[in-house]
Structure 1
């Protein structure tokens, strides 16, 4: 059970982390202080393998339509991918990913809708950035040198994800540790320095909460782990950059009300000072964040 006393104790034990300054994040030429305005990243999937069916866009026109809806609901940037990160998802060739993504990126960019491209493929990322994507959501470490160079040369922003393997498709399970934060810092610290050395100026990090959990991890343990990492995200501020977290769906708890889950987890993310929330339910999450910015504890 989570209580106010628990949250108070967590904050007291890590008081310095709350005040650690972090860099702003840039999206399409606009720079945001994610402490004062947490950003919403809306999701559009060109892959039919996504478990969140409402995010699936079978055609480029469907993807553009959904992206426009999410943008007008309050998303600051639209994250588009063409290959599912889930275990067993279909492998999509570089050529097919480019065909699925580039018309969408071009049309949205022409409409001044900021686009993030989710990929670990160098050629896909290069094509998307050339077409106007202003954020790269990097789901692997295999080609960091080449991808950091692409992002730096284009003046784009980089969201680097934690993956246990070289790419998210390696299907190595996220490990549930007693305290995952030190391992995340150890993973990201040298990568951030590496990216900066290759010209990347705007960086955020993602702990990979939405990636593969093996069959040895029962659903409730997964939900508990995701919630704990959200609440502890402020400890990642020592890296000097904003943190991005996917908002869980927690189907085993919410069941037929699973579409409400992201709005609830957004509250935990806000308390944990998550700077970018990657979501499917933009309107629900926007309302939750607005509530948290409106209320206080003073009587």
Structure 2
């Protein structure tokens, strides 16, 4: 199992969607061989781990059942693990997380922060693996109707803090928790930019922060409607800014550009990351 929590940040998580309908790359890697090849390539490009998801969480996406999700992700995770590629599972379901961990997943990335399936926290606590707790207010079908905040930074921080407390109460170790502000999940473009500007307030919670802006629609809006695959340069810029602000890691589709940009950032002799572990 990859010792992600002791690796030197910034951590780069490569995205591998094994779905037919994800917003950026749906259908490209829903074949086992294609998925494993792409996951291995992401690792060669510098990803610390490959995040495998079997259910689209784009706004408006329909849900699939747990059996379908398991059939999509488990063979890929098992094959990547056998090939020496560290993998995480992107899921909101405890049953999927348990099956993925059994197949070799080193991390559970739960976009619901434990809200979608209360059994998730027990599965993660029993496994003793790192757990990404994302800010979330509802499933994809209606999440954008929940994008109402008086102060998005303060409310996301406070809601994330409650999710962390629930994880701790369930027995998940504090040193295994990572938080994610959930850009694009029940948030407008303005909300996403505010959270990016004030990332230090989330870092102040005292947990590693994962920043996941990759190819999201608010970048497309900034770029006059540019389609998802053409948002990688903007993604890389947000990733470097987040790391410079103290983010522990970034989740991206285009690993190579991100790794290269972070190498440039390091070469400037930039200040140390604020996160001290």
Q: Do the two structures share a fold, i.e. TM-score over 0.5? A: yes
Following TM superposition, by how much is the alpha carbon of 1:295 offset from its aligned partner in structure 2, in angstroms? 0.7
Q: How far apart in 1 are the matches of 2:268 and 2:166?
A: 40
Q: How far apart in 2 are the matches of 1:113 and 1:55?
A: 22
Q: Please name the residue that 1:23 is paired with.
A: none
Residue 91 of structure 2 corresponds to residue 119 of structure 1: yes
Deviations 1:189-213 (Å, cap 9, x if unpaired)? 2321222233322011111103355
Contact 1:138 1:159 in 2 (8 A): yes
Residue 75 of structure 2 corresponds to residue 109 of structure 1: no
- What SS does the aligned partner of 2:204 have? helix
Q: Please name the residue that 2:40 is paired with.
A: 68
Contact 2:211 2:251 in 1 (8 A): yes
User: Cα distance 1:68–1:29, how it changes in 2: closer, same or farther (>3 A)?
Assistant: same
Following TM superposition, by how much is the alpha carbon of 1:102 offset from its aligned partner in structure 2, in angstroms? 0.7
Q: Please name the residue that 1:9 is paired with.
A: none
The answer for unaligned runs of 5 or more in structure 2 is 272-277
Q: Please name the residue that 1:4 is paired with.
A: none
Residue 255 of structure 2 corresponds to residue 286 of structure 1: no
Where in structure 2 are the equivalents of 1:234-253 lying within 5 Å?
234-249=200-215, 250-253=219-222
Following TM superposition, by how much is the alpha carbon of 1:62 offset from its aligned partner in structure 2, in angstroms? 1.2
User: Cα distance 1:242–1:169, how it changes in 2: closer, same or farther (>3 A)?
Assistant: farther
Q: How far apart in 2 are the matches of 1:287 and 1:133?
A: 26
Residue 179 of structure 2 corresponds to residue 210 of structure 1: no
User: Cα distance 1:203–1:152, how it changes in 2: closer, same or farther (>3 A)?
Assistant: same
Q: How far apart in 2 are the matches of 1:173 and 1:83?
A: 20
Q: How far apart in 1 are the matches of 2:16 and 2:105?
A: 14
Deviations 1:148-190 (Å, cap 9, x if unpaired)? 111111121100111112x455424463657422212211223
Q: How far apart in 2 are the matches of 1:297 and 1:119?
A: 35
Larger radius of gyration: 1
Where in structure 2 are the equivalents of 1:189-200 lying within 5 Å?
189-200=161-172
Q: How far apart in 2 are the matches of 1:86 and 1:297?
A: 35
Q: Please name the residue that 2:196 is paired with.
A: 230
- What SS does the aligned partner of 1:292 have? helix
Where in structure 2 are the equivalents of 1:178-193 lying within 5 Å?
179-193=151-165
Q: How far apart in 1 are the matches of 2:59 and 2:234?
A: 22
Following TM superposition, by how much is the alpha carbon of 1:55 offset from its aligned partner in structure 2, in angstroms? 8.2
Q: How far apart in 1 are the matches of 2:68 and 2:269?
A: 49
TM-score using structure 2 length: 0.85
The answer for unaligned runs of 5 or more in structure 1 is 1-26
Aligned residues: 261
Q: How far apart in 2 are the matches of 1:297 and 1:41?
A: 22
Contact 1:55 1:280 in 2 (8 A): no
User: Cα distance 1:196–1:102, how it changes in 2: closer, same or farther (>3 A)?
Assistant: same
Q: How far apart in 1 are the matches of 2:185 and 2:97?
A: 20
Following TM superposition, by how much is the alpha carbon of 1:60 offset from its aligned partner in structure 2, in angstroms? 1.5
Contact 1:234 1:272 in 2 (8 A): yes
- What SS does the aligned partner of 2:231 have? helix
TM-score using structure 1 length: 0.79
- What SS does the aligned partner of 1:160 have? strand
Contact 1:262 1:284 in 2 (8 A): no
Contact 1:149 1:199 in 2 (8 A): yes
Q: How far apart in 2 are the matches of 1:69 and 1:269?
A: 24
- What SS does the aligned partner of 2:60 have? coil
- Once superposed, what is the RMSD of the aligned Cα atoms? 2.4
